[in-house]
Amino acid sequence: MKRNDFLKTLGFGSAGLLMGESLLSSCMNHDMATMDMTTAPTVVEGAFTTILPILETITSGTALNARSQNAAIVAGKTGQVLGYKNGILGPTFRVQRGSTVTIPFTNGLSEETNIHWHGLLVPAAMDGHPSQMVTAGQSFNYTFKIDQAANMAWYHPHPHEKTGKQVFTGLAGMFIVESPEEKALNLPSDAYELPLVIQDKRLDTTGAIMYSPTLEEVMIGYMGETITVNGVSSPFQPVTTRMYRLRVLNGSNGRMYNLALSNGNSFMVIGSDGGLLPVPETVTSLLLAPGERADLLVDFSKIALNSEVYLQSNSFSGVSSQGSQTFKILKFMVNKTETDTFKMPTSLNSITPLSTASATKTRTFDIGVMMNMGSGGHGGTMAMKGMHTINGKIFNMDRIDESVALNSTEIWEFDNTNGDEPHPMHLHGTFFQVSSRTGGRGNILSHEKGLKDTVLVMPGEKVRIITKFEKVGKFVFHCHNLEHEDDGMMLNFEVK
């Protein structure tokens, strides 16, 4: 069933929308009854007068403690959020390839949680599978060897049906892996390298984060009107007339950003989820879905001294629930002349393309069907479950959906031909290459020319990925729209 048909059967069709909304607000106790929840809430830009916070950098051994915190997302309003150390979000790990990392973790929440290391190839027992919970008040030591190329990964909770709430409320952090090969490229570093987690938030009048998705928001993803970078609304960053490296994570539940510069200048994409691309790619915009990362180079020497340029999200097409608005995210103020010593490398990384001929199996996944409504709960607020499925199935913790032979190469096809929602599909336990996209945008995009762990499949698209499964054990793959994931759009695969 398509989303629009689904809405109609519930009486949310065009004529029934108002009635449906008031019905919803009375039985689900949400206070946004006047908003059309079949589309993203309109972004309200802030003043861009708060300086961009750079999250604390930490390394192995630093303890994380998921707990309630106070933070001022909007200047002057300190509200209740969640965080892993100080304030909202978590510190940024910076570790060397080859090192062993130990992270003592305590669950200071009143419900279960855990940590998934999204973009790190860790053993299954350390991966934060939804069956590996740390109960309230308990601790767990995450420890693993960093055995992969340099990249920017991230970390966040993965409890089934509660991931959306916990991430939206503030639990997420960045994790940077460095290597000698990457160092040798002399990419902009230190003050010239900015890790940026972009998220949207919905705030109440006290500045606290609200999370209570309606039925329609389970369908389109829970989105907010306040866009934050590193935990604050509409910040600014002073820059000098040189090249900067922006390491962007879309840490939002459901909102996508079509990243661009407000003056229309081009910028370079040098990496994505799994590390550097083979060669730098020049773009004027880049659509980044929840869970995806983009490693960007922006040349501020092309911008006049004492002028401003914004990182913004341009409008985009292909989906009815979001993309109609252009909004600013982060203001850069070019305030100092500096001589740039950076030389753009002609090649960044060598990635051997996996040939489709080496694949021993092709699996197809229909991700474009909504069905299977039944009883169940969505964070306790919904009497609906399983509108989002993969091959008609919703998540079952104990069922193995796909059995994969260790070290085999496979093609997985995500088919959203009949769907009308975008689905960023994420595999744990491996990086993959995007081997084709048919329908919709119709080709492999610049930031998809390296190793990926999350790929956006827009309505009408069929995307094929290819990967070699080298980690033993039980992992999940799922849609990274966190309301879809919590609704059950997730399956298990076991490598053995």
**Interface residue list for ligand C2O (CB under 6 A):** 116, 118, 156, 158, 291, 426, 428, 476, 478, 480
Residue 462 host element (H or E): strand 462-468
The residue number with the shortest CB distance to ligand C2O is 118
Residue 201: which of ligand C2O, Cu ion, none does it interact with, CB under 5 to 8 A by kind? none
Task: Name the minimum Å distance from CB 328 to ligand C2O.
Answer: 26
From the list Cu ion, ligand C2O, none, pick the one residue 253 interacts with, judged by a Cβ distance below 5 to 8 Å according to partner type.
none
Least distance (Å) from ligand C2O to the CB of residue 480?
A: 6
User: In the bound complex, what is the minimum distance in angstroms from residue 257's beta carbon to ligand C2O?
Assistant: 17
Residue 481 site contact among Cu ion, ligand C2O, none (CB < 5 to 8 Å, cut-off depends on kind): Cu ion
Beta-bridge partners for 423: 457
> How many residues in the shown chain lie near Cu ion by CB under 5 A?
4
DSSP 370: B
The residue written with tokens 């849609």 in the block is 479
Among 484, 488, 491, 493, which residue sits at the site for Cu ion (rule: CB under 5 A)? 484
Q: Which does 3 bind (CB under 5 to 8 A by kind): ligand C2O, Cu ion, none?
A: none
CB of 293 to ligand C2O, least distance (A): 11
H/E segment holding residue 201: strand 193-201
Least distance to ligand C2O, CB of residue 118, Å:
3
Neighbour tally for 358: CB within 10 Å: 13
Which of ligand C2O, Cu ion, none is residue 423 near (CB under 5 to 8 Å by kind)? Cu ion
Encoded tokens for 32? 């946004």
The CA-to-CA distance between both ends of the chain, in Å, stands at 35
479 makes contact with Cu ion (CB under 5 A): yes
Contact segment (CB under 5 A) with Cu ion among 34-42, 81-89, 206-214, 481-489 equals 481-489
Give the SS3 label for residue 254: coil
Altogether, the residues listed in the chain come to a count of 496
* DSSP states along 157-170: ---TTTHHHHHHTT
Site for Cu ion in 411-440 (CB under 5 A): 423
Burial group, residue 177, by CB count within 10 angstroms (0-12, 13-18, 19+): buried
The entry of Cu ion, ligand C2O, none near residue 484 (CB within 5 to 8 angstroms by kind) is: Cu ion
25: enclosing H helix or E strand:
helix 17-28
Query: Residues interacting with Cu ion, by CB under 5 A?
Result: 423, 479, 481, 484
